[in-house]
């Protein structure tokens, strides 16, 4: 027989009970005299816009730009921000809500599956899970995503620009070799980007940086953006195209092959499957998290060189 569950008493309200009396002389509800502090509407606007434009000014020259705030991009941001608090890290996310496809498991199911040893990253960010032997299960994908996101956004050296799209890449040509190096991103608000066909004179903005991590996912409306742009610029001949589902092959390949594909551009996550012709991953997320970890390590391996090249421009 299942033992009775201990009931925790309802916590004391964060608001003290008022001592005011009602007309009936009964003790008033703690909400009777409740009111917010005064404010003008313009104060709200100024509080938001002043900080946003301050961030635009600060991160116009960044150390690392991460395109895509899905599980791979957020994991990369976490590792970079923790290991290098001196770096300015800008995350550009096309959607209003960061998290990519990591709010749910496969086919809109709640649980998130990660094959071992990806649970080491869950331990790092303190997400609980059920151990099933060769894999672990987080009770809801949103628990992983929201926890990771909250930890990333707490870092003082990270700024998330959501509802913002990367429309192009900034490039530099090596005068000696002719090799193209990626040196930043061209950005615009997502809603503006979606209306270039029916509106005019909506020029973009820019962020310069020594190195970029692109994690825009597999092909779709905004997917595989950076690698498709490499093809159109002639940096690579063609994309390999994502192969069919094979979890065993796909997850290992995505993590192992996460790398700097051209100078200044590290590619990770499902975007990598498009350039390499790797298999699709399936409804597990361990490869996304660990690809982000490896993307961060790949940046740190070449950052000093790319920073030197950037400063010499």
Find tokens 């941001």 and name the residue.
Answer: 77
Binding site listing for substrate: 72, 93-94, 101, 166, 203, 218, 270, 280-282
CB count in 10 Å sphere of residue 304: 10
Look up residue 277 and give its two tokens: 């012709």
How does DSSP classify residue 109?
-
Whole-angstrom Cα distance, residue 254 to residue 233?
A: 24
Whole-angstrom Cα distance, residue 140 to residue 86?
A: 33
Whole-angstrom Cα distance, residue 215 to residue 218?
A: 9
Region label for 282, one of left (φ > 0), alpha (ψ between -120 and 50) or beta (otherwise)? left
Binding site listing: 72, 93-94, 101, 166, 203, 218, 270, 280-282
Whole-angstrom Cα distance, residue 262 to residue 275?
A: 12
Smallest Cα–Cα separation from 31: which of 47, 49, 50, 16?
16
Look up residue 138 and give its two tokens: 């987080």
Order the strands of the 265-267 sheet from edge to edge. Answer: 158-162, 89-93, 64-67, 211-214, 265-267, 259-262
Whole-angstrom Cα distance, residue 91 to residue 281?
A: 24
Whole-angstrom Cα distance, residue 234 to residue 219?
A: 19
Contact criterion met (CB below 8 Å) for 95 and 163: yes
């Amino acid at each position: 027989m299942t033992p009775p569950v201990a009931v925790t008493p309802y916590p004391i309200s964060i608001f003290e009970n008022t001592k005011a009396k009602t007309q009936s002389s009964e003790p008033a509800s703690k909400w009777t005299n409740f009111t917010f502090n005064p404010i003008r509407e313009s104060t709200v606007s100024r509080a938001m816009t002043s900080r946003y434009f301050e961030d635009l000014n600060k991160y116009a020259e960044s150390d690392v730009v991460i395109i895509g705030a899905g599980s791979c991009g957020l994991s990369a941001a976490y590792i970079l921000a923790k290991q290098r608090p001196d770096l300015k890290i800008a995350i550009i996310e096309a959607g209003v809500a960061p998290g990519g496809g990591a709010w749910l498991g496969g086919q809109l199911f709640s649980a998130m599956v990660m094959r071992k040893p990806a649970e080491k990253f869950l331990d790092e960010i303190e997400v609980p899970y059920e151990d099933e032997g060769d894999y672990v299960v987080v009770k809801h994908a949103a628990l992983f995503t929201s926890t990771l996101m909250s930890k990333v956004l707490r870092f003082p050296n990270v700024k998330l620009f959501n509802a913002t799209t990367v429309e192009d890449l900034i490039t530099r040509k090596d005068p000696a070799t002719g090799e193209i190096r990626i040196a930043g991103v061209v950005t615009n608000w997502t809603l503006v980007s979606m209306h270039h066909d029916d509106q005019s004179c909506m020029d973009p903005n820019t962020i310069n940086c020594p190195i970029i991590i692109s994690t825009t996912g597999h092909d779709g409306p905004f997917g595989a953006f950076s690698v498709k742009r490499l093809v159109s610029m002639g940096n690579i001949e063609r994309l390999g195209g994502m192969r069919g589902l094979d979890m065993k092959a796909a997850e290992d390949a995505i993590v192992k092959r996460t790398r700097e594909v051209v100078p200044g551009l590290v590619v990770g996550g499902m975007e990598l499957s498009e350039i390499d012709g790797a298999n699709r991953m399936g409804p597990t997320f361990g490869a996304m998290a660990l690809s982000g970890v490896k993307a961060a390590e790949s940046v740190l391996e070449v950052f000093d060189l790319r920073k030197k090249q950037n400063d010499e421009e």
